[in-house]
Structure 1
Amino acid sequence: MTEQEPQEPQPQEPQEPAAESLAFLNRPGLTRLWAVVRARLERNGLEPTGTVRLQSLDAREREALSLLLGKPLTTPAVTIRLPDLDARLRASAVGRGLTATLAELGPPLTDRRAARDAAAAERTRLWTTAETTMAATPLNDHPWVGRWLEELRRSGTLTRRPSTTAHTTVTQAIQTLAILFPGVRPEPTPATWGRGELATRTTGSAHGLDDGTLLARLVLRGIALAQGVEFPTDAPGRRALWRRASVTPDEVSSTVLTYGLRPTGGTWQETALRERADHHLETHLTLRELRTLHLELPPGTRIHVCENPRVVEAAAEAARTAPLICTSGSATTVALTLLDTLAATDCAFVYHGDFDWPGIALANRVMGRYGAQPWRMTAGDYEYLATRAELQGTPPLPLSGTPVEATWDAELAPAMTSLGIALHEEAALDLLLDDLG
């Protein structure tokens, strides 16, 4: 017979703990122990080193710990060495160490030390990427750039994002700013960029620099530093800041619905508005038009403001004459720009909207910004319309959402809460049209 070579012993896979062992380890008396041990292991890089101490043990905990440690506990406190607990678990029916046992009991353990090290390494990689990208552009010629990058570091805005998102965003922000501020090595670029065109150039998407995106905020922060101005807090301010960097926001897709505006100016635009008012035609105005329109009405002109386009439609059909502006359900930038323009000419405003909680919130905003007076928007108006709707057999629309106090009438929100009925603006349409005559 041929002598055979001795075989190396193969490592044995740890066996799954028996159900009885897991049931014992999961008993309520050990809950606090595992919570404390888990926290210590996660701080220790998942190594069973050091000690933990439990105090104020109750009878159930002392009994469970006595069985686990193999020694009686008679005092209300105990100090446990983790290497000893690890060895005892390995030698028991559990058959595995402390770290594997806690992973089996769940939830998964987190190596917090490794996670911190990985996060620190990722932050270093992110800022190295930013600095390398910056060095390949003319941005370093500008004194504000260092401050911009330092503000990004301090804010933590990028490091709270997924790694891929952070790297892509900071790279695109630097490339966008480099186009807008070419320094001493300019490339041939248009004197003015459309925001969608610029976004396509640097992100591949025409919406990459849309208002509210992280990239747009980073770029605007750089523009503000470059121009030495405060960072804007509202949409009109952001649009103005884009224009300071020769970037034209989209100023034609969003419009405000108007009716009966008769400005006093003599250009063809003012003349056209007056003619449309004379012919009882509504007019949609864009931001681009508002920038060039000399929209001045006689001081003290009373402007009615509504929430729903149906009011404007009905006013035009009934050939009403009073000036009317519609917010179309929300005070958009273009609507606020128009109202701001008219407020600057000492126009007076009255406001009506929906009797629901979003409608009250919008009314608060418009009335607060422009000192507008309520237009059939009191508690008495609401109660009258609710009663009339009930008598007419109109199916009630339940009022839902979080109540909003009406700043102009302390009784309105309680009345709405009491009746629990929402009333849209159309419920008061006949009354509104009477006022617009």
Structure 2
Amino acid sequence: MRGPERPDEQPPDANALAFLTRPGLTRLWTAARTRLERNGLQPVGTVKLEHLDAQEREALSLLLARPITGFTATIRLPDLDTRLRASAVGQGLASTLEVLGPPLTDRRAVRDAAAAERARVWSTARAEREATSLAAQPWAAQWLEEIRRGGTLARQDPHTATTVVTQAVQTLAALFPGTDPRPTRATWGRGELATRATGSAHGLDDGTLLSRLVLRGIALAHGVEFPADAPARRALWRMASVIPDEVSSTVLTYALRPTGDTWREAALCERADHHMETHLTLRELRELRLEMLPRTRVHVCENPRVVEAAADAGDSTAPLVCTSGSATTVVLTLLDTLAAAGCTFAYHGDFDWPGIALANRITRRYGAEPWRMRAADYEYLATRTQVHGTPQIALTGTPAEAVWDAELAPTMKALGIALHEEAALDLLLEDLG
């Protein structure tokens, strides 16, 4: 709390405090507090009070030592400050307000301090850029200016903003040590590069603020658009000779028989011949030549149990890809490659709202046909589980309309039963056989 405004100011006595806290003065103190906090805590300007009631008019008349008779009053803050000092209150407006409520906040000073902090962030960033190889990069100044205008760093606290932009400058300087945007080092592992910049192998993981800033710099250096999805982000990293993690995520497949003539395609075909499922990494997908027979129909399922059952059956020959509950980058990369090779798709997933949402995504992206995923299929399976006495799972969550069948969502809402893919397993295996 602020001390007295002048050495001779003393806190108001009990009688004066009782008068100041009268309900009729509440609106005055609120309005005066707002005005002072905007004015650098100086008692200047006026406040206007409207729709005054009798209690307020009486209290204001006593405080200001002049009659307030109308329903509106305009009070000059310098006059109010002088009146308070000369009265039994014995102190100025700012000190009075702090006695009556919480400490005043000099909002102008707060804004000025925040602006100064933001200015220091960018002066530090520019100095860091000038101290590295980015000083010679023609795009680097534009990169920093775009980041500043974008406002993302302004929403961070100054320490975080300074740390992240400094790390971004250092990371880009490591990737572009000269004036040529082409990399001079063979490759960086993304985890290795992140460790160098942040101390953590996850510092440049997808979705982090640092990775977004660095990718924006790489895009400017190469004159390309900022990537809109995960595959495009991976491609941009590789453009800067940075290899993302391409081995930890896999896509589960069965009976893929590509016609390529390298050992990789031969190994995939041999596993299919022996009814063995195969997990493919992004690294393998970049090397595989996934040419397929013309118009090969690939079945896509949501749950790994379908793949396991198809492999156990031993007579399933139809190519099968499993999303494992979500269409991750590695899943979409495989399906994109198969689509480019001329394959068509049939999709089956869970009859619940997340399952419908995932099916919508696959259907829209690849024009996939529904595979036992229409309203009649759902109704049949629901009836069968009821006849067999199978415990029912309530359908919960946000409904999703199926883009391939307008009747499916209303039917699911009417029956209110969620059906996982395993409920149709025998029918799916029959189709794959």
Q: TM-score, normalised by structure 1?
A: 0.88
Which of 112, 118, 127 is 1:117 aligned to?
112
1:351 matched residue in structure 2: 347
Give the conservation status (yes or no) of the 8 Å contact 1:26–1:105: no
Give me the whole-angstrom Cα distance separating, in 2, the residues matched to 1:14 and 1:314: 87
Using a 3 Å threshold, how does the CA distance of structure 1 residues 184 and 87 change in structure 2: closer, same or farther?
Answer: same
Q: Aligned to 2:75, which of 54, 57, 80?
A: 80
Aligned to 1:311: 306
TM-superposed deviation, 1:191: 1.9
Over 3 Å counting, the alpha-carbon distance change for 1:178 and 1:61 in structure 2 is same
Q: Is 2:150 the partner of 1:160?
A: no
SS in 1 for 2:405: coil
For the residues of structure 2 that align with 1:432 and 1:68, how far apart are their CA atoms?
Answer: 86
Q: Which amino acid aligns with 1:364?
A: N
In the alignment, the residues of structure 2 paired with residue 14 and residue 282 of structure 1 have an alpha-carbon distance, to the nearest angstrom, of 85
Q: Output one character per residue of 1:88-133: Cα deviation in whole Å (capped at 9) or x when no partner.
A: 5667787765445555665664322112211211122111111211
* Pair 1:409-2:405 in alignment: yes
Matched pairs, number: 426
- Per-residue CA deviations over 1:296-336 (Å, capped at 9, x if unaligned) read 11121111111111111111112222111111111111100
DSSP-derived class of the 1:395 partner: coil
> Gaps spanning 5+ residues in structure 1: where?
1-9
Helix, strand or coil for the counterpart of 2:155?
Answer: coil
Q: Paired residue for 1:259? A: 254
For residue 245 of structure 2, what is the aligned residue in structure 1? 250
Aligned to 2:3: none
> 1:127-147: per-residue Cα shift (whole Å, max 9, x none)?
111121112111111111111
SS of match in other structure, 2:135:
helix
Aligned to 1:337: 333
- Aligned-partner residue type, residue 322 of structure 2: C
Tell me how far apart the structure 2 counterparts of residues 60 and 355 of structure 1 sit (CA, whole Å).
Answer: 67
Partner of 1:3: none
Find the partner of 1:201 among 196, 201, 204: 196
**What's the C-alpha RMSD, in Å, of the aligned pairs?**
3.0
Q: Deviations over 1:60-89 (max 9, x none)?
A: 654665566565533221101223444556
Alignment of 1:3-152 (within 5 A): 25=21, 27=23, 32-57=27-52, 62=57, 65=60, 69=64, 72-86=67-81, 97-100=92-95, 102-103=97-98, 109-152=104-147
Structure 1 pair 66/427, CA: closer, same or farther in 2 (3 Å)? Answer: farther
Q: Structure 1 residues 306 and 78, CA, compared in 2 at 3 Å: closer, same or farther?
A: same
Alpha-carbon offset, residue 33 of structure 1: 4.1
Which residue pairs with 1:323 in the alignment? 319
Tell me whether 1:399 sits opposite 2:398 in the alignment: no
- Which residue does the alignment assign to 1:368? 364
* Identical aligned residues as a percent: 73
* Shift, 1:46, TM fit: 2.4
Question: 2: CA distance between counterparts of 1:19 and 1:391?
Answer: 83
Q: SS at 2:389's partner residue?
A: coil
Cα 1:295/1:52, change in 2 over 3 Å: same
Where structure 2 has 5 or more consecutive residues not aligned to the other structure, the ranges are: 1-5
In structure 1, what is the Cα distance between the partners aligned to 2:37 and 2:136? 46
Cα 1:296–1:95 change in 2 (3 A) is farther
Letter of the aligned partner of 2:75 in structure 1?
Answer: I
Q: Aligned partners of 2:430 and 2:103: how far apart in 1?
A: 69
Q: CA deviation at 1:393?
A: 2.9
272-281 or 79-88: bigger deviation? 79-88
Asked if structure 2 preserves the Cα contact closer than 8 Å seen for 1:22 and 1:105, the reply is: no
Checking the alignment, whether the CA contact within 8 Å between 1:399 and 1:420 is kept in structure 2 is yes
Q: Report the more deviating stretch, 316-325 or 403-412.
A: 403-412
Distance 1:421 1:161 in 2: 45
User: Given that residues 18 and 93 in structure 1 are in contact (C-alpha distance below 8 angstroms), is that contact kept between their aligned partners in structure 2?
Assistant: no
Partner SS state of residue 253, structure 2: strand
Q: Deviations over 1:130-169 (max 9, x none)?
A: 1211121111111111111111121122122111111111
Q: How many Å separate the matches in 2 of 1:421 and 1:409?
A: 18
Amino acid of the structure 1 residue aligned with 2:407:
E
**Deviation by residue 1:332-356 (Cα, 9 ceiling, x = unmatched):** 1110000000001111111111222
Residue range with higher mean Cα deviation, 369-378 or 399-408: 399-408
CA drift at 1:408: 1.6
